[in-house]
A and B are shown apart, each in its own frame.
Chain A
């Protein structure tokens, strides 16, 4: 509801902006505020609603920890997805499988092939980065369609992961390795802070550094970037490679947290990644993909799902919620982008 009213305040529906935009002050008005913070408001409302309906279960340290301590994989995956979206590639569909590959590799190499856990972790991250590099080579150098390449790569990697594990979940990582993910800091696992630091760093780079400016110009208009001296090929290729690196790090941390990995589960991340990333465009910087908006969206979605589960819904609810939010978020993002013009 509040998103709706925010949109209306910016411009009346049914009539597009006139060709010469009137010189309205962009830093004022309820519309300006709502376009940035409405989702956060809805998030708080949701928490209050659940708190009123289920005070005995929702308003507990336990559920707080479930929401904030369990979404690290999603944070890393959305960061990986943002890498390519920011430079104007549609979406990298292979990040979830690439993440799964790293999680499987570190476990299989350590448990079944008796590598040292650190060298196994390094090998897993290198493998994922290499996958990103190959994606980049195919898309940027060979000029193949992004969706086709990454969808194919994702399915291919899923198959490889299943083959490596013989279709079974794998586990058995040493318990001291688990501490890299589970060490408690201020009541939350340290991996929560990894995710926060990653997104803050990403936001910093995009917002205030020349590198981030270049990334965004490449995303907005490749030819303009090239004419200004940006090495566009390198930037795009680098984005795919970085996406692989981040997915790999996320995979290793995720495997560490649970002591292993079920290769079948990586596909379940695909839709939540999209839902969070697109919902993120309706937060903080309306109409624009942005790391902190995405980070908030991840926890918004986790809160929504947990609350519904506490209200008695079973596992179907996450599909309904994530799928529904994705469609709503894309619609909202499209409308906001039109308003922003």
Chain B
């Protein structure tokens, strides 16, 4: 999935101009937990842990967003935060792959990508993966403690 991310462009200084941005691929593979599709939120915090913007929201019913509790608390669960960067929930064992343009200034600057997941009648896993936005860790696979089997950021 390749998106232009208008919301990101509008909100933060994530993409000052495309020339100074890097294309980053985020791959989230879920465990075969065998339930309904998982809601997955991918978002960014700065070095101080402050919410900076949402990269992707998998899952389209806003009434379930509060189950992505870290994301909901950080972002205020406002729909404006995810406008245009929302897709279907991710099925058991499936992989969510998205590409985003991220400003060079944010890379290797202590920024972190958080992954919150939640499944109906299952667990809520706030920040089950927290990955440093670090060019050196490109392609490194991280495991989540909830539904995420593997999370990989490729620069």
Specify whether A and B are partners. Answer: no
Chain B residues within CB distance 8 Å of chain A? none
